């Protein structure tokens, strides 16, 4: 039995939820409310000592890190619909996209997300309450991010991240000249990855970048993504 500990179906959680539904793998969902800081509760830290979601548990084994989890799903469920190409060169192309999306795009979008979303949450607590919550965060880099989000990121940092998003969208726009998906005809984890971190929220978060004037193919691709039954099912995931 697969168990998934996750929050809303965007970003990290969405990436694995979409993969599970697209691969038609049954799983039990455990909702971890990031707004209530449940990811830092003693119970959850027993599952993932780093206090991050999602975490996948399969037959008692805990697997973390979204791209590692998705490759695992591909390896462990070889008879489910494939989301990683079997040709070595195509698999390498997928992993190059994933590395770029995980390292650059995720970070750039997440700074904007932390600036608004997490910043708002963090400012809702008094200094004292916030310090108590921070003392429970296991990873130093996450504590730094929470404190930055509460204070607000510098405009220069936000502009730099916006430029990175624009470049990523331009690269995807160009890739989509070759076919309906990032790897041409093959729908893969790379599509899920870009959608989860950037594509899904593009028009809302970055309206100046995600317009039909600048990236018509990306916007059509967003529609194709959301029309997929597995993706749609994942996006319909809500609090229990």
Residue with tokens 């390498």, as numbered in its chain: 92
Beta partners for residue 55, in sequence order: 5, 64
For a copy of itself, which residue of 15, 53, 71, 195 counts as binding (CB under 8 A)? 71
DSSP category for residue 200: T
Which residues in 100-139 contact a copy of itself (CB under 8 A)? 103
As a whole number of angstroms, the distance between CA 87 and CA 58 comes to 27
Beta partners for residue 56, in sequence order: 4, 63
DSSP category for residue 81: P
CB of 70 closer than 8 Å to CB of 16: yes
As a whole number of angstroms, the distance between CA 98 and CA 6 comes to 20
As a whole number of angstroms, the distance between CA 106 and CA 96 comes to 14
Q: Could you tell me the CA-to-CA distances from 17 to 126, 213, 232 in Å, in that order? A: 34, 31, 10
79 forms part of the interface with a copy of itself (CB under 8 A): no
Query: What ranges in 42-151 are assigned the alpha helix state H?
Result: 42-47, 66-76, 88-100, 106-113, 119-123, 127-134, 140-151
64 forms part of the interface with a copy of itself (CB under 8 A): yes
89 forms part of the interface with a copy of itself (CB under 8 A): yes
Beta partners for residue 61, in sequence order: 58
As a whole number of angstroms, the distance between CA 20 and CA 231 comes to 9
For a copy of itself, which residue of 36, 49, 81, 99 counts as binding (CB under 8 A)? 99
Part of the chain binding a copy of itself (CB under 8 A), chosen from 71-79, 151-159, 203-211, 224-232: 71-79
142 forms part of the interface with a copy of itself (CB under 8 A): no
67 forms part of the interface with a copy of itself (CB under 8 A): yes
Give the shortest CB-66-to-a copy of itself separation in angstroms: 10
For a copy of itself, which residue of 32, 57, 63, 183 counts as binding (CB under 8 A)? 63
Part of the chain binding a copy of itself (CB under 8 A), chosen from 30-38, 93-101, 126-134, 181-189: 93-101
96 forms part of the interface with a copy of itself (CB under 8 A): yes
65 forms part of the interface with a copy of itself (CB under 8 A): yes
For a copy of itself, which residue of 25, 91, 158, 166 counts as binding (CB under 8 A)? 91
Part of the chain binding a copy of itself (CB under 8 A), chosen from 91-99, 126-134, 168-176, 206-214: 91-99
CB of 192 closer than 8 Å to CB of 186: no
Residue 66 in tokens: 């979204």
Of 17 and 69, the one with the shorter C-beta distance to a copy of itself is: 69
Of 45 and 203, the one with the shorter C-beta distance to a copy of itself is: 45
Give the shortest CB-62-to-a copy of itself separation in angstroms: 10
Residue ranges in contact with a copy of itself by CB under 8 A: 58, 61, 63-65, 67-69, 71-72, 75-76, 88-89, 91-92, 95-96, 99, 103
């Amino acid at each position: 039995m697969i168990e998934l500990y996750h929050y809303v179906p965007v970003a990290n959680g969405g990436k694995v939820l979409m993969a599970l539904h697209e691969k038609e793998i049954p799983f039990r969902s455990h909702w971890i409310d990031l707004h209530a800081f449940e990811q830092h509760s003693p119970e959850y830290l027993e599952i993932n000592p780093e206090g991050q979601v999602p975490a996948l548990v399969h037959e008692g084994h805990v697997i973390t890190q979204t791209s590692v989890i998705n490759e695992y799903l591909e390896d462990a469920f070889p008879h489910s619909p494939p989301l990683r190409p079997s040709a070595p060169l195509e698999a390498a192309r997928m992993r190059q996209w994933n590395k770029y999306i995980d390292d650059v795009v995720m970070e750039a979008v997440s700074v904007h997300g932390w600036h608004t979303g997490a910043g708002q949450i963090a400012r809702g607590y008094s200094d004292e309450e916030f310090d108590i919550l921070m003392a429970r965060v296991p990873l130093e880099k996450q504590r730094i991010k929470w404190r930055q989000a509460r204070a607000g990121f510098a405009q220069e940092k936000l502009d730099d991240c916006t430029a990175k998003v624009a470049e990523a969208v331009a690269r995807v726009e160009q890739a989509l000249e070759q076919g309906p998906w990032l790897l041409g005809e093959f729908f893969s984890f790379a599509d899920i990855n870009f959608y989860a971190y950037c594509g899904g929220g593009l028009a809302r978060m970055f309206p100046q970048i995600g317009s039909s004037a600048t990236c018509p193919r990306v916007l059509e691709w967003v529609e194709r993504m959301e029309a997929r039954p597995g993706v749609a099912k994942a996006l319909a995931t809500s609090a229990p």
